[in-house]
Structure 1
């Protein structure tokens, strides 16, 4: 293991198809587990509306972060975007939101894995396979990104193929009464039902935005990153609509809303628990959950690595394996913490914490798109968000709506989230801000384009104003 990070960088191995597989793979467990907890008040129609709203939020945000990732191709991803646009403190808080999202998401997916194993083998406690899978994929990530990407391609393809099989077999057996009750009570909780379903509808898309954290490991980030992001979120939208329609159409709201394994449960409710697809979904369906679990490890490790490399977190967290070029400490320590969470919290509440952290980073990223267009209009943007500023504004509004929905879903856990960000803020002002390394990629900016019509261009950064000579590219030292 490396004792320091000198001359050790992340390995560039990923292409657009790898990014698509990783992006879809990390999210796809949302179709297998978690989204159904929001059905109690929303019903089918309310969940469908909530899903379409969240799909709009993610699609418009994906366009924005496609632009940002071509400007700032760093492992910091969301943190680096917010840091460039709004300064170090906002960048750090954005990074904490990302860590909260992924370190919490890991245990939730692991619990889903345990639930599917328990469906097949009731004598095996659900927590045991959850911990084992988590440990195995921490080892895979230490071995290397290319090896992981190859495995993820297989896992993602199998998971998507199995969902398609579920749709084909399930569609002819849908009971329309399950979707649209004859009583006319299509949305049991009314507007509140849709509102309360938003955090769970997010679970069908949550984590696609992690792809920019792989920018330093992508061969041609300016072309491949937008392709991977946009194709990924489009795939997830199609899958999500079919998943909620077929699952509820087969099993009904009462059964599916409380199922820890909604897809096998929905097939079993119509064709029996011994039907071949029920067993296949419970067996091969684990692939989707495993795919997401491994992707979550990748996401939190890159954010920890980036924040540590820049000095916001203790330096030892960015230690690299020289041979494998992987941040092994950033993989292991948060993973161990995640496994411990599996033993103490139920997934319903953990999802609320994870989505709250995610929404904090989403708001910051949407603001970053707008602020950087105003502050640094001359930056080279190989991909530009279409219909600017409509798309980032639409995404921003939906993010704010969703975060308020998260507030009221469970006030206790809302206060837990506020407490976490408060402690993080104290930590920043007391210690972290004095440790920042100005030579880290996210801190040491290179201006790629300047005004050609004048001898000097002025770029206003969050912490200082730097005069730039028109004939040279210069570094802005922070």
Structure 2
């Protein structure tokens, strides 16, 4: 059996834009090394260690969430190894969109890029609401959670991004370091009160299939907890979006992705066991601030709980800040290639995609101010994320099979088997989102339908052939044509 080496048909040839088109859409090269990128990968995720994951205890209990976390950890590990290879092959700002464009054609590229945008526009909006809640609970500046706090978040942190990518990544690195240090301090303090009997103290649902003290909601609870197991790792896949601003991306990106994932696995295990064992899974399953709750068995604040409370705010800021960065780069790449309106990819004199920052920021602020429903927006973001994971994993499989001779500075351990595991688990996680929040899943599907209509009717006929991701795909098509001749 032979495999057809011909890639999916390229998009219709567009009218070429002006000669200075790409010059007006250039990012600052060489601004980040592997250490800053590792910090970026951790920053995407670190807020998930401080809150959100614990709601999975209500879905599956300690055992159910633990198994879900392990399976989602395997999914992310397999996926990031696959992305490390893909990013060494195509180190551009398109990230997942660029990988899928080469493997699955324009439709596959657009589907992947849109899913990533859903994640990176909705997640910051949700986190801005959580930041407001923290500001209010800590009594900072006498403010209460509401639109002024949300607006301040977007204005201040988008302003730093507009200043320049180097400055932005260094700011993110410092704030992330504070949040990670506090997690380690928390774990030490919480383990001093660790009691294994508290891990499985959630009441058992007698009528749930397979229910026991470790799986109080039964076997189905494991599946329902998938989206919450993802919160320990959600966003780490955004590291390749920094490719065009990275020193030696073919070497730096794989290294940063692997280190980010390793750090996140350690933080996830420490947070999960320390929180549940210190206070009990039942006590923290519905807590908005589970780490602080775990340190206050009598409800009275301690010196350590206050430190963790402030660090939780730092963690939220780190994730908010880095997710804004990721969303702007994905939007930049899609619009530069013509999938979205081209003007969104214009860059400033400091080489920042200013409209790619301001437009998603305006959308995120509007959603936060209008709804105030951070949990719902995060569920929509998770739905988009799982679609992108499945398509990126599929892209790795397709490129390995169709283009085995493609130069790969880094190769995924396990090859297709690794990405196949990621694909299967991503599809399972996608279905699990319907178990948690059907409305959120339907909202995401609605956004998809509108986006696909725009692509099908207009933008697929106006793609920019000179965009890096499009040139990469065109080169594949030309090579396949030569092989046929």
Q: Decide which of 266, 290, 301 is 2:328's aligned counterpart.
A: 301
Residues 41-120 of structure 1 mapped to structure 2, 5 A cutoff: 41-120=59-138
Map 1:365-404 → 2, pairs under 5 A: 365-404=392-431
Shift of 1:380: 0.8
- The yes-or-no answer on 1:253 pairing with 2:253 is no
1 CA distance for matches of 2:324 and 2:188?
32
Match of 2:207 in 1: none
Bigger drift between 396-405 and 281-290 goes to 281-290
Larger mean CA deviation between 254-263 and 435-444 belongs to 254-263
1:351: how far off?
A: 1.9
Matched, 1:174 2:202: no
Deviation, 1:5, is 5.2
1:428/1:159 CA distance change after superposition, 3 Å? same
Distance 1:182 1:69 in 2: 43
Query: Normalised by the size of structure 2, how large is the TM-score?
Result: 0.89
Residue 163 of structure 1 is aligned with which of 164, 168, 183?
A: 183
SS at match of 2:482: strand
Partner of 1:327: 353
Q: Which residue pairs with 1:18 in the alignment?
A: 36
Please state how far the C-alpha of 1:466 moved relative to its aligned partner.
Answer: 2.9
| Offset of residue 8 of structure 1 | 4.8
Aligned counterpart, 2:470: 443
Greater mean alpha carbon deviation, residues 150-159 or residues 107-116: 107-116
How many Å apart are 1:347 and its aligned residue? Answer: 2.2
Q: Is the 8 A contact 1:117 1:283 kept in 2?
A: no
Residue 252 (structure 2) aligns with: 224
- For 1:341, the equivalent position in structure 2 comes to 367
Q: Are 1:369 and 1:392, in contact at CA under 8 Å, matched by a contact in 2? A: yes
Q: 1:324-361 deviations in whole A, cap 9, x for unaligned?
A: 10100000110111112213042222222111101111
Structure 2 portions without partners, runs of 5+: 1-19, 204-211
CA contact (8 A) 1:309 1:440 kept: yes
**Please, what TM-score do these two structures have when normalized by structure 1?**
0.91
Alignment partner of 1:213 is 2:233: no
Structure 1 gap segments, 5+ residues each: 449-458, 471-478
1:9 aligned residue: 26
> 1-side partners of 2:398 and 2:178: how far apart?
41
Find the aligned partners of 2:294 and 2:366 in 1 and give their Cα distance. Answer: 31
Q: Tell me which of 356, 378, 383 is aligned to 1:351.
A: 378
Range moving further from structure 2, 291-300 or 240-249: 240-249
Distance change in 2, residues 1:351/1:176 (3 Å): same
> Any idea what the Cα deviations from partners look like across 1:404-442, whole Å, max 9, x if unmatched?
101222222222222211111111111111111111111
3-state DSSP of counterpart to 2:301: coil
Asked if 1:466 is matched to 2:481, the reply is yes
Q: What is aligned with 2:143?
A: 124
Shift of 1:236: 0.5
Q: How does 1:131-210 map to 2 (within 5 A)?
A: 131-181=151-201, 185-210=213-238
Contact 2:227 2:429 in 1 (8 A): yes
Task: Render the CA deviation track for 1:180-213: whole Å, top value 9, x for unaligned.
Answer: 3397522221112111111111111011000111
Tell me, in whole angstroms, the C-alpha distance in 2 between the residues paired with 1:233 and 1:130. Answer: 30
Single out whichever of 221-230 and 407-416 deviates more from structure 2: 407-416
Q: Secondary structure at the match of 2:213?
A: coil
8 Å CA contact retained: 1:44, 1:245: no
Cα 1:217–1:468 change in 2 (3 A) is farther
| Whole-angstrom distance in 2 between the partners of 1:65 and 1:360 | 15
Q: State the partner residue of 1:453.
A: none
Q: Matches of 2:278 and 2:374 in 1, distance apart?
A: 24
Aligned partners of 2:315, 2:443: CA distance in 1, in Å? 30
Aligned length: 454
User: CA RMSD for the aligned pairs?
Assistant: 2.1
Match of 1:241 among 257, 261, 269: 269
Partner deviation per Cα, 1:107-145 (whole Å, 9 max, x = no partner): 222222222222211863223434312221100111111
Cα–Cα, structure 1 residues 126 and 252, in superposed 2: closer, same or farther, change >3 Å?
farther
Deviation string, structure 1 residues 149-168 (Cα, Å, up to 9, x no partner): 11122111111110000000
CA–CA separation in structure 1 for the residues paired with 2:173 and 2:452: 38
Structure 1 Cα separation of the partners of residues 144 and 331 of structure 2: 31
After superposition, what is the alpha-carbon deviation per residue over 1:6-41, rounded to whole angstroms, capped at 9, x for unaligned? 255211211110110000011100001211222113
Bigger Cα displacement from structure 2, 127-136 vs 94-103: 127-136
